[in-house]
Amino acid sequence: MNENEKAYDFMVDGIYYKCISNTSVAVANETGDGEANSYSGNVVIPSEVSYEGANYKVTSINSRAFAGCTALTQVTIPDSVTFIGFGAFWDCTALTQVNIPNSVTETGWRVFSGCTALTQVAIPASVTKIDSRAFAGCTALTQVTIPGSVTEIGDAAFKDCTGLTQVTIPDSVTKIGEDAFMGCKGLTQVAIPDSVTKTGWCAFAHCTALTQVTIPDSVTEIEGTAFGGCTALTQVTIPDSVTEIDGRAFAGCTALTQVTIPASVTSIYISAFAGCTALTQVTIPDSVTEIGSKAFAWCTALTQVNFSDIVAEIGYDAFENCRSLQRINIPAGTYDKFADMLPNDHDKLHELTAAPDTAAQE
C-alpha cells in the first residue's frame, strides 16, 4: 500500500470500510497491515452500509482485514460477500466460529491460518478451491466436510491441524496439494477419491495416527514423502495404476508390516520405504526397472526380498542396514548382474528356478 493511501475510507459501527466503487465496499482494518488489532468480540458484518447519505453494498473482505485480532471470537459474514482476501482472519487465536455464506466463491491463501480456537467450519458449495494454507495450524479443528464443488485442495491447506480426526474428500477433487494434510496427527483414516490422479509431496506426511489409507486406481504417481512418517500405518495397497513411487513416499512408516507393489510400477525411488522397521517381506514385480538409493534402507525387520526379473538399475545401498535380511531371491541366471549392483548383499543372493513366493516356502 502506498504510504499516502489510507487503509480505509470510513468507519461505521466499529467496522472499517474501503470503497471499491461508488456502490460497493470491502471490509478493511485501521492500518492495512493487520497489526492494529481493531476488532474484538462478536462482529456482525452488514450486507449494506450507509455513510454520508450514500448506500454501499459490502461485497468483500480485504486481505488481513481481521489478522491478528486476538480478541475476536465470532464473525458473521453476509451473503453479499463474494470474496475473502488472503490472511483475512490470520492468527485470530480466539475465533471459535465463522459462517461462510454460499455467496463466497473465492478465498485467499492463509485465510484462517493460525485460528487455534476454531473448532468447526462449513465450507460452502460455492467454493471451488481451498487455497494454500487456508486452515493451516487450526489446531482445534476436529472435523471438516469439503463440498462437492471443490476441485482442488491447495498446498498446506490443513497442515498441522493436529485436532483433525476426520475429513471427507469428495470425488470432485482432482488435486491434493503439497503438505495438504501434513502433521494432522489426529487423522486416523482417509479415503482418496478416484478423481485424484496424483497426491502432492508430503500430502499426508507425519499423520502419526493414520492407520488406513485407500489409494484409488486413478492415481498414477505417489509423490515424495506423501505418507512419510505415518508411524501408525500398518498396511497399504498400491493400485495397479501407479507407475512411480517417489522418494521417501512411505519412509519412516514404522508400523507398516506389508506392502503390495503392483506390476504397473516401473520405478521405486530414493528412500521410498526407508526406515519401515516392521516390514518383513517385499516382492519386486518384473515391471520394475529402477530401484533408487536406500529405497529399503533401515528396514531392520526385512528378512526376504523377492525379485521376479532382472532390474536394470539398483542403488548399491538399496538395502543398507537391513540387519535381518537373510535372503534375496532372484531369477536363475541373474546372479552376476545382481551381485554387481548389490555388492554389499551378494552373499544373500539365491537363484531360483521356481517363483520366489513358492521357493520361499521350501
Instruction: Decide: 349 and 338 in contact? Cβ < 8 Å.
Output: yes
d(CA 181, CA 73): 25
Report the pLDDT value the prediction gives residue 37, as an integer from 0 to 100.
66
Report the pLDDT value the prediction gives residue 4, as an integer from 0 to 100.
47
Q: Look at residue 235 and tell me whether its pLDDT is greater than 80.
A: yes
Q: Name beta bridge partners: 259.
A: 236
C-alpha closest to that of 9 among 33, 29, 23: 29
Segment 140-180, tens digit of pLDDT? 999 888 999 999 999 999 999 999 998 989 999 999 999 99
Q: Look at residue 354 and tell me whether its pLDDT is greater than 70.
A: no
d(CA 129, CA 106): 7
Q: What contacts 24+ positions apart, CB below 8 Å, involve 139-148?
A: 139/163, 140/116, 142/166, 142/186, 143/167, 144/120, 144/168, 146/170, 146/173, 147/123, 148/172
Q: First CA to last CA across the chain, in angstroms?
A: 76
User: What sign results for the dihedral spanned by CA atoms 162, 168, 170, 174?
Assistant: positive
The residue-averaged pLDDT of 178-187 equals 97
Among 29-43, 286-300, 301-315, 333-347, the minimum mean pLDDT is found in: 29-43
Cβ contacts of 152 within 8 Å, gap of 6 or more: 128, 129, 130, 173, 174, 175, 177
Report the pLDDT value the prediction gives residue 356, as an integer from 0 to 100.
53
Segment 245-268, tens digit of pLDDT? 999 999 999 999 988 899 999 999
The residue-averaged pLDDT of 19-23 equals 97
Q: Look at residue 3 and tell me whether its pLDDT is greater than 60.
A: no
Instruction: Decide: 219 and 238 in contact? Cβ < 8 Å.
Output: no
Segment 328-351, tens digit of pLDDT? 999 999 999 999 999 999 999 999
CA distances from 6 to 2, 34, 50, 51, 86 (A): 8, 13, 19, 17, 19
d(CA 191, CA 168): 8
* CATH number assigned to the domain covering 220-362: 3.80.10.10
- Number of residues that this document lists for the chain: 362
Segment 76-99, tens digit of pLDDT? 999 999 999 999 999 999 999 888
Average pLDDT along the chain: 92
Segment 100-141, tens digit of pLDDT? 999 999 999 999 999 999 998 889 999 999 999 999 999 999
C-alpha closest to that of 233 among 202, 277, 268: 277
Instruction: Decide: 130 and 150 in contact? Cβ < 8 Å.
Output: yes
Q: Look at residue 222 and tell me whether its pLDDT is greater than 50.
A: yes
Per DSSP, the residues of 152-172 read EE-TTTTTT-TT--EEE--TT
Q: Where are the domains of the chain?
A: 220-362
The residue-averaged pLDDT of 5-23 equals 93
